Amino acid sequence: MSKPKKGKRFRYKLETLLKVRDIRETQQKEVFQAAERKVVEEQEKEQVLVEKQDQEYATLTSEISGADGNPTNVQKIMWRQAHIESLKKQVDDQQKVVEEAETQKEEEKDKLVKRMIDKKIIEIDKDKTRWAWKKLMDKETDKFLDDIASVGFEKKRRQKLEEEGKG
């Protein structure tokens, strides 16, 4: 804890450090929010790919069953199957990207928590220092008032002695 100094106003020695930590916390919040946005974007991309893959599966099954009324074309079925496998690979790759983005988000969250703790430590120190300063100033005020009271008491005592000595 930093030590308070006498003065009319409270001045915290580590105020610049507190400002720096506040700025760093704000910057880290922005980085964390960007990481959160990236996770959401990547999840949306994954969702689009999954929907496209499901659509292709439905089309393939309808072609195989001949539900559309056209005769089954083996070449077309093989082409769709290759396309579905390609989409599956894209979905798997996108899932890895989402996992990496979530990992990055967690790392940024941990950094943010650390920055918040660092700032909170300095804020707590500032509050304790302010409390100690108030206590110090109260003691100084009490001391000043005691001096005034003792001077007044001494003055009355001398006047009383002078009156007794004259009387």
Among 42, 35, 49, 32, which residue's Cα sits nearest to residue 96? 42
Model-level pTM?
Answer: 0.72
Residue 67 pLDDT: 64
Q: How far is CA 14 from CA 34, 72, 79, in A?
A: 30, 79, 69
Q: What is the pLDDT of residues 132-142, one digit of tens each?
A: 999 999 999 99
Sign of CA dihedral 145, 149, 154, 156: positive
Residues ≥6 apart with Cβ < 8 Å to 96: none
Q: What is the pLDDT of residues 33-92, one digit of tens each?
A: 999 999 999 999 999 999 999 998 888 888 777 766 666 677 888 888 899 999 999 999
Min mean pLDDT across 121-125, 130-134, 158-162 is at: 158-162
Residues ≥6 apart with Cβ < 8 Å to 43: 98
Give the pLDDT band (50/70/90) at residue 7. confident
Residue 160 pLDDT: 86
**Number of C-beta neighbours around residue 81 at 10 A:** 14
Residue 1 pLDDT: 67
Question: How many whole angstroms separate alpha carbon 167 and alpha carbon 162?
Answer: 8
Residue 131 pLDDT: 94
Is the pLDDT assigned to residue 154 strictly greater than 80? yes
Residue 9 pLDDT: 86
End-to-end CA distance of the chain: 60
Among 98, 127, 103, which residue's Cα sits nearest to residue 15? 127
Residue 167 pLDDT: 58
Q: What is the mean pLDDT of the chain?
A: 89
Residue 163 pLDDT: 84
Is the pLDDT assigned to residue 4 strictly greater than 80? no
Q: Are 99 and 19 in contact (CB under 8 A)?
A: no
